[in-house]
Amino acid sequence: MINKVYKFGGASVKDANAVRNLKNILEKEDRSDLLLVISAMGKTTNAIEKALADFRANNGHLEISAISEIIEYHENIMTELFDGNTSHPIFETMTNLFLDLYLNLQETGFDYDYQYDNTVSFGEMLSTTLISAYLNECGIKNELLDAREYIITDHNFRAANPEWDDCRLRIDKLNEEHKGTMYITQGFIASSTSPKTTTTLGREGSDFTAAIFANCLDAKELTIWKDVDGLRNADPKRFPNTQKIEHLSYFEAIELTFYGASIIHPNTLKPLQNKNIPLKVRSFIDTNLKPSVIDGTEDYIKYVPSFIVKEKQTLMSITARDYSFMNEHNRALIFNIMDELNIHANMTQVSALVLSICFDENEKKRLQLTEALSQAFKVKYNDGLQLFTIRHYQEGLEKDFVKDRKIYVEQRSRSTYQIVLSY
């Protein structure tokens, strides 16, 4: 039985030293009931995204040198980890993966989102293949699993939704067959059936992968290993004097991640809450630091105010052409279309005639939405905005952040204060 799921993100495996650090961490752990979920190394996903854009701009006609940075980056890590022993089979395995990536990048005749998932998924395949071989070489025995055999989704490329029953069936079987060897698998990537094709769960989706595995395994804990000491009440890169949050309820954590606290992927918590599996956020740099724990606590925890900034927001204002009220009927129409287009409102506000919706910038989706609404509604929008949220708001806390910037929408409930503003 597998009881523990550990997730290691891109930063934790970004170079040879980082992978050695991972090995050191694992050496001290009981690995007999452990499944590791690993992301692409460092910024590989971004690099593949960029290569894909180049290939598409050239209708697939680019030399393999167009991806040489991605190849060299992995080769350097591999050479260092395997002491330049190029006769080790991993060198051939990785070369085949590089070639496969190249072939996939050339297939620009397909729908963009389809090709996107097929190519960016190589980031995770490269990292897990290399790390699994290295750990086995060091005596940390493990079995590499293809996550696409276990995480089954719909065909919604780039933000696929799990088919939970399928996932559960397959992961159940894995659990039954488990004989005590640590498993390693990829975050982020999945597959849809009939027709079988690679999908992804959306950027930063490896946390979600780990949560799906934890849920289906009925695991006892999920640990996400980070380069920070746990959860904080704001992003230290943006705000001075942040405070560590040692203990958090699922409810509160979901509220924070929903508004953009990027430390954990927002979809991660529900599958854990549903099975009451605690989530630990722990430092891979200093393993002696106490992790932050998110669980089903009912205890009263006195939360400090938390500050969350979500970048690249579109604010759309929608009014009925015939001047009818922005009533439930009109709102239902609009929200149904948004649901079909998979556009997720980060904030909404209604007046007599206007519905304002704030969502993540995405030109394609904005145009689709405008088109679908155009018969009955007039639409205006602004791009390049920020959504700023304060949980456990106290009067005046927003002042330093807002300064003299233009506020587009302001909203306040008992515990949450939000504004949409320009940069």
Contact positions vs ligand ASP (CB under 6 A): 9-10, 39-40, 45, 123, 187-188, 203-206
Q: Return the one option of ligand ASP, Mg ion, none that residue 266 interacts with (CB less than 5 to 8 A, by type).
A: none
Regarding 291 and contact with Mg ion (CB under 5 A), the answer is no
Regarding 123 and contact with Mg ion (CB under 5 A), the answer is no
d(CA 44, CA 50): 10
Shortest distance, position 188 Cβ to ligand ASP, whole Å: 4
> Who's near 240: CB < 8 A, 6+ residues apart?
none
> Who's near 328: CB < 8 A, 6+ residues apart?
none
Residue 288, class by beta-carbon neighbours within 10 Å (0-12 exposed, 13-18 middle, 19+ buried)? exposed
- Structure tokens given for 239: 């705000």
Q: What is the DSSP string of 96-135?
A: HHHHHHHHHHH-TTS-HHHHHHHHHHHHHHHHHHHHHHHH
Site for Mg ion in 10-69 (CB under 5 A): 10
Q: Which residue in 228, 229, 227, 234 sits closest to 260, CA to CA? A: 234
**C-beta closer to ligand ASP: residue 200 or 319:** 200
Helix or strand run (H / E) with residue 141: none
Compute CA distances 271 → 207, 218, 239, 254, whole Å: 11, 10, 30, 11
Q: Return the one option of Mg ion, ligand ASP, none that residue 264 interacts with (CB less than 5 to 8 A, by type).
A: none
Q: Return the one option of Mg ion, ligand ASP, none that residue 117 interacts with (CB less than 5 to 8 A, by type).
A: none
> Who's near 125: CB < 8 A, 6+ residues apart?
97, 186, 189
- Structure tokens given for 75: 């080769």
**C-beta closer to Mg ion: residue 10 or 123:** 10
Number of residue whose CB is nearest ligand ASP: 206
Q: Return the one option of ligand ASP, Mg ion, none that residue 45 interacts with (CB less than 5 to 8 A, by type).
A: ligand ASP
Regarding 205 and contact with Mg ion (CB under 5 A), the answer is no
Neighbours of 248 (CB within 10 A): 24
Shortest distance, position 420 Cβ to ligand ASP, whole Å: 25
Shortest distance, position 80 Cβ to ligand ASP, whole Å: 21
**C-beta closer to ligand ASP: residue 44 or 418:** 44
Identified binder of Mg ion from the candidate list 5, 7, 9, 320, rule CB under 5 A: 9
Shortest distance, position 151 Cβ to ligand ASP, whole Å: 13
Q: Return the one option of ligand ASP, Mg ion, none that residue 37 interacts with (CB less than 5 to 8 A, by type).
A: none
Shortest distance, position 190 Cβ to ligand ASP, whole Å: 11
Shortest distance, position 281 Cβ to ligand ASP, whole Å: 14
**C-beta closer to Mg ion: residue 10 or 266:** 10
d(CA 249, CA 151): 27
**C-beta closer to Mg ion: residue 7 or 391:** 7
Angle of the 112-137 helix axis to the 68-81 helix axis, nearest 10: 10
Shortest distance, position 239 Cβ to Mg ion, whole Å: 21
Q: Return the one option of ligand ASP, Mg ion, none that residue 188 interacts with (CB less than 5 to 8 A, by type).
A: ligand ASP
- Structure tokens given for 122: 């190589």
d(CA 87, CA 206): 32
Shortest distance, position 162 Cβ to Mg ion, whole Å: 19
- Binding residues for Mg ion, rule: CB under 5 A, are 9-10
